[in-house]
Amino acid sequence: MSRIGKKQINIPNNVNVLIKKNYIYIKGKLGELKEYVNKNIKIKKEKNSIFILNSLKNNKKYKSLHGLYRMLIYNMIYGVNIGFKKQLELVGIGYKAETYKNGRILILNLGYSHNIAIHVCKKINITVDNIKGNNPIINLYSIDKQLLGIVASKIRSLKKPDPYKGKGIKYKNEKIIIKTGKTV
C-alpha cells in the first residue's frame, strides 16, 4: 500500500467535490477540473476530507496508481483554490518576449532568423516582465498543474540553456552548471 495514497486530502470550505462513477469533479473559486479515476481505485468522501482506497492491494500496478491518484486529486484541489505559477527566464543578449491578444499569443525572439509565435490555450494565463537591465521573465499561471508543466517545458525546449555560456530559456530558480571550454 502506498504511503502517499494512505494520507487523507483535506477539502477547503470554498471547494466543492463531486464523485460520479469513475470521474471526480472539483470546483473552486478559480475554476473547475475533472479527472478520470481507474475503476479499481475507490474514492471515499467524508465531510471535509477525501480518502483514496485501493481494491487490489497486492497488485504492483494499482499500488502505484493509488499514490498517483491521491496526488492528482490533491493538485486539483490546490489548483482550483490557490492556483499554480511557473516562471521562465530568457538569458541571452537580444532575447525578447511579448504577449498579444490578452496573453493568448506569446512571441519569442531567441536569436533565430525568425520570431516564434506560441498560441496558448484559455486555461493558461501568460504575462511577460520586461524590466530594463534585467532578463525578460515569462510568468505562467494555471489551475491545472499538468498542463502548466507541459506548456512550460515546451517553451523551454525552444532554446535549452547552453552548458558552456548559460544562454537560453531556463526556469527562474534553476541553476545551470557551466562547463569549462577547451584549454590551450
pLDDT of residue 171: 94
The residue ranges of every structural domain in the chain are 3-81, 84-171
Alpha carbons 117 and 101: distance in angstroms, whole number: 12
Examine domains 3-81 and 84-171 and report if their fold is the same: yes
pLDDT tens sequence across 126-155: 999 998 889 999 999 999 999 999 999 999
Q: Per the structure block, which three cell numbers stand in for 28?
A: 473552486
pTM of the predicted model as reported, rounded to 2 decimal places: 0.88
pLDDT tens sequence across 45-98: 998 999 888 766 677 777 778 888 999 999 999 999 999 999 999 998 989 999
pLDDT tens sequence across 1-29: 457 778 899 999 999 999 998 899 999 99
**Cα end-to-end span (Å), the chain:** 57
Alpha-carbon distance values, 136 to 37, 142, 162 (Å): 40, 20, 17
Class of domain 84-171: alpha beta
Provide the CATH topology of domain 3-81: Outer Surface Protein A; domain 3 (3.90.930)
